[in-house]
Structure 1
Amino acid sequence: MDLKQLQAFVHVAELGSFTRAATILDTTQPALSRQVRQLEVELHQHLLVRNGRGVALTEAGQRLLAHAQGILQQVERATDDLESLRGTPGGQFNIGLTPSVAKIATVEMIRRFRASFPAATITVNEALSSYLVEWLMMGRIDAAVMYDTADTPMIDKRGLFAEELFLIGSSEAARTAARRAPGAVQLKDIGQYPLVIPGRMHAIRHIVETRAAELGVKLSIALEVDAVSSILDLVSEGYGYAVLPLNATSSDPLKRQFTVERLTHPTLFSQLVVATSALHPVSHLASRAIAMIEHDVLPLYTEPRRVT
């Protein structure tokens, strides 16, 4: 297996066509077919199958594609990292952000990155924390700003700050729902509230479910939705309550009114971390970009929010 074979396979797989891939790589279709076939022979696996619209990945091809993309990106980063020794860091920086951070920080992060590293490029990848962990291990991204997940030996994490989680409801629900304690809800009572909550892959779902289980409380799940914007839409329509940080409501583009109540006994917190892979070295560009994000960008996300 060599890099040219992997590059040929990745381009064909991503474009779904030998013809289109040959055009991009400035080679011929037969030459590209030979490289992919040599890779299949070496791996003893069929990676692609032809169909009427081009080619499709086999199960083996799908698995190899994720690894191959990471390998090629690591080679590119190594080259860029060595080039940076000559002066201003250049190359590609791939950062992963959770949706809540991306919503607030992406524009300013790109603005400051381009000002600080004019010879480099940045790619922002938005996904749930569980997916960001996978991408870090595969080498698809250099770093991630995400909610803390279960300890993983292959991931290095540094805590940034903790966000308190609140019970969020619609203004209409506030006028009609009975309250045990105005302005606060004890976690042991959260089972009385129908929740619009992310799926089990989401870090916040894990926090809420784990702490409730410790108290012997079963959550009342009305709907499972991963997108925070959709959760707020459904809460606003009265479908249930959400458990989210204040940033979720304060950054609502529609500026809707929500009730925000503290959860107590215990108070819930989600930990935001910056993570890198322990399997792949962090480039000079990535190290400086991460420092810039922590110093200049993340304070925008941590500005004090008022509880109403």
Structure 2
Amino acid sequence: MDLKQLSYFVAVADAGSFSRAAVALNLAQPTLSRQIGLLETELGQRLLDRTGRGAMPTEAGDALLVHARQMLDSADRAREALRELAASPGGRITVGLPPRVAASLSAELVTRFRERFPRAVITVSEGLSQHLREWLIAGRLDLALLFDPPPSPLLSCEPLLREPLLLVAPAQGPRLPARLRFSALADWPLVLPAAPNAIRSLVDAVARPRRIGLQVVAEVGSVQTVVQLVRQGVGCTVLPESALPPPGHGPALQRAAIVAPAIRNNLVLAWPKARPATRLMRETAALLKALDFSRLGSPSV
């Protein structure tokens, strides 16, 4: 069976008229009638009942219509797959990044994306992990990097980075031990990110059931501002190593491992389960996974 003839047959069945289908296909009506006739001859079945009011599928036509739609759809998908293989895909993709990931790695991501997909456009949206998760579920994002997202049946997640949280103190403050129990955090004044920051949620989730009262002297939304306040001696904080500036960028900071229990910060790549994974989406996910996450603590340039 000729795919073009099948597409003509589907067009007539959908339009309910040879004349309307001919206009939609930009064909002369005799040409369309001849092609349908050839298809009927090949199959040995009358496919359309022609009346003064139009054309309706016969019983054989209804049976063919189901298969014709499937065959045409499969052909379209095959052509699209071959087009994607033949050239760099175009289109647009939207990626969500938490602020400190965006500050350190957006330039690297966009540069690699432009090199790999010169015909496509990337949009980078910044937000707290909780907000990015909601945007993924709502369909506003194609992909996102999230810190410690709650499980959702609507999202697929792939772990990328797992780090222990540390107690961080100013260099000029009291000497920190190499390790301290989580309960000992109650003895230190703390500057913490404000909820719903993922790090704050982790700390609160451990402290609350143990009835450990933390001395939170300030809440700040930006991790960079938290680090500045610690350097100025306002208090200590709880952060992963990757959130801290590398050596040589400002005054040194003291660090102590938190144990009993240890708390770990998890960075994951997430995407909606319901969204079809296009080539652009798959390869952008590969670019995200290949980012140099050791640079998370580096100042943005």
**TM-score range normalised by the length of the shorter chain:** 0.5 to 0.7
> What is aligned with 2:91?
91
Does structure 1 conserve the Cα–Cα contact (< 8 Å) formed by 2:243 and 2:296?
Answer: no
Q: 1:252 to 1:128 in 2, by over 3 A?
A: farther
Q: Deviations over 1:94-129 (max 9, x none)?
A: 111112222221111111111111111111112110
| Residue ranges of structure 1 left out of the alignment (5+ in a row) | 1-80, 304-308
Instruction: Please tell me the residue identity of whatever aligns with 1:194.
Output: P
> What is aligned with 1:54?
none
Q: Deviations over 1:30-72 (max 9, x none)?
A: xxxxxxxxxxxxxxxxxxxxxxxxxxxxxxxxxxxxxxxxxxx
Instruction: Please tell me the residue identity of whatever aligns with 1:212.
Output: A
Question: Hey, what's the Cα distance between the residues in 2 that align with 1:263 and 1:236?
Answer: 20
Question: Hey, what's the Cα distance between the residues in 1 that align with 2:269 and 2:149?
Answer: 12
Does structure 1 conserve the Cα–Cα contact (< 8 Å) formed by 2:169 and 2:236?
Answer: yes
**Superposed CA RMSD:** 2.3
> What is aligned with 2:19?
none
Matches within 5 A, 1:11-50: none
Does structure 2 conserve the Cα–Cα contact (< 8 Å) formed by 1:174 and 1:259?
Answer: no
Question: Hey, what's the Cα distance between the residues in 1 that align with 2:160 and 2:109?
Answer: 16
Question: Hey, what's the Cα distance between the residues in 2 that align with 1:276 and 1:131?
Answer: 14
Does structure 1 conserve the Cα–Cα contact (< 8 Å) formed by 2:95 and 2:141?
Answer: yes
User: Structure 1 vs Structure 2: percent identity of aligned residues?
Assistant: 30
Q: Secondary structure at the match of 2:195?
A: coil
Is 1:190 the equivalent of 2:159? no
Q: CA deviation at 1:157?
A: 1.1
Does structure 1 conserve the Cα–Cα contact (< 8 Å) formed by 2:105 and 2:296?
Answer: no
Matched residue pairs, number? 217
| Residue ranges of structure 2 left out of the alignment (5+ in a row) | 1-79
Q: Secondary structure at the match of 2:173?
A: helix
Question: Hey, what's the Cα distance between the residues in 2 that align with 1:183 and 1:85?
Answer: 54
Q: CA deviation at 1:283?
A: 2.7
Q: Which moved more, 1:236-245 or 1:275-284?
A: 275-284
Matches within 5 A, 1:1-308: 84=84, 87-174=87-174, 182-251=177-246, 254-295=249-290, 297-301=291-295
Question: Hey, what's the Cα distance between the residues in 1 that align with 2:248 and 2:139?
Answer: 34
TM-score (norm 1): 0.65
Does structure 2 conserve the Cα–Cα contact (< 8 Å) formed by 1:187 and 1:264?
Answer: yes
Question: Hey, what's the Cα distance between the residues in 1 that align with 2:293 and 2:174?
Answer: 32
Does structure 2 conserve the Cα–Cα contact (< 8 Å) formed by 1:170 and 1:259?
Answer: yes
Q: 1:298 to 1:254 in 2, by over 3 A?
A: closer
Question: Hey, what's the Cα distance between the residues in 1 that align with 2:208 and 2:229?
Answer: 25
